[in-house]
Amino acid sequence: MSGGALGTLWRSRGGRCGLVLLALLALAAALVTLMPASDAGGAQWAGASLEHWFGTNRLGQDILARALEGMATAFRVGGLVTLGAVALGAALGALGGWRPHSLPDEVLQWVMGVLDSIPVYLFAAALAFALGGGEAAIIAAMVLSFWTSTARLVRAEVARLRGRDFVLSARAIGLPAPLILGRHLLPNTAHILLVQATLTFVAAIKTEVILSFLGIGAVHGVSWGLMLAESTQDVLAGHFGNFLAASGMLFLLLLGLNLVADALQDAFDLREASR
């Protein structure tokens, strides 16, 4: 399936651009994680030069090095949130779709309705209260807010597929429900999960930036949100390095993800038209 998905992506121009862009950015993030660049030691507010591509910040740190560290943070937080939200959404959505309108399904619908009614920033704030801030709180808040959209789609797809012959046959020969769900139904939702993963990644990165900027919960290391928070003071004094580096990389990463999501949706003919 994943080989097929990559092939599908590669066939469209947008998907190809997105994949190459993401691969380059991931490589940069991996390199900066494996061998952290020294970001200290320069003069305050140094201009752009070959040594400091985006200049240095208030503390004389190299802005490019910090922006790359921010990329590693974005990949880490976005990856964890995506993994958690899509896995949770797939599992619970499949359970709900297996027996639509049964008691477990009604409870699931209620829980999803409740979580969808709490804006993610407020939820993150409440969880930060309960868990005492930190990266775990905002990751948990995003997972708990974002899994519902995957769950709704998987639930609908599983409910649609459960009347098909291959499922009825599997039930007729007495396969247990978990096996049918895991081996026969969930693999048939892989295209939905793939698209949801890219969309969740986008949402997680955007939300992380805003939460870090607002100071709700904190991530480990440097974050683009923190750099942008610094830059709001900088730009009024005419220093644009922080802003350009953080917002430029943020844009490239989101663009790569959106191009991939777009190509996938086109290939699988998934568009949220009449929902």
Partner 1 sequence: MSLPRYLLQRLFHGALLLLGVTLLSFTLMVQFGPDTAFELAGKNTTEAQLEELRRSLGHDRPFLERYARWLGELARGDLGASDSNGEPVDRLIGRALPVTLALVLPGFLLGNVLGLLLGMLAAWYRQGAWDRLVLGGSVAGLSLSFLVVIIALQVLLCTPYGLDLFPTRGWRVDGIGSYLLYVTVPTLALVIVTLGYNTRFYRAVMVEELARDPVRTARAFGASGREVMFTHVLRNGAVPVLTRLLYSIPLVLVSGSLLLETYFGIPGVGKVAFDAITSGDQPVLLAVVTLTAVMFVAVQLLTDAACRLADPRYGAP
Among 113, 176, 178, 182, indicate the residue that binds partner 1 (CB under 8 A): 113
**One of 122, 168, 177, 179 touching partner 1 (CB under 8 A):** 122
CB of 273 to partner 1, least distance (A): 4
Q: Nearest to residue 72, comparing CAs of 27, 111, 41, 116?
A: 27
- For 68, 119, 144, 183, 188, the CA distances from 260, given in Å and listed in that order, are 22, 27, 24, 27, 20
Q: Interface with partner 1 by CB under 8 A: which range of 69-77, 147-155, 165-173, 207-215? A: 207-215
Kindly state the smallest distance separating residue 160's Cβ from partner 1, in Å.
Answer: 18
Six-digit token string for 135 = 């990266």
Whole-number minimum distance, CB 184 to partner 1, in Å?
30
Nearer to partner 1, 144 or 186 (CB): 144
Instruction: Classify 62 as helix, strand or coil.
Output: strand
Name the DSSP letter for residue 162: T
The residues with which 62 forms a beta bridge, in sequence order, are 56
DSSP-derived letter for residue 188 is G
Query: Does residue 117 bind partner 1 (CB under 8 A)?
Result: yes
Residue 268: CB partners within 8 Å, gap ≥ 6? 8, 191, 195
In the block, tokens 């081996």 appear at 183
> How many chain residues bind partner 1 (CB under 8 A)?
49
3-state helix, strand, coil split of the chain in percent (to 5) is 75, 0, 25
Give, as ranges, the residues between 226 and 265 that touch partner 1 (CB under 8 A): 228, 231-232, 235-236, 238, 240, 243, 247, 250-251, 254-255, 257-259, 262
The nearest distance, CB 51 to partner 1, in angstroms, is: 25
Tell me how far apart the alpha carbons of residues 32 and 34 are, in angstroms, rounded to a whole number.
Answer: 6
Interface ranges with partner 1 (CB under 8 A): 14, 110-111, 113-114, 116-122, 125-127, 129-131, 202, 206, 209-210, 213-216, 225, 228, 231-232, 235-236, 238, 240, 243, 247, 250-251, 254-255, 257-259, 262, 271-275
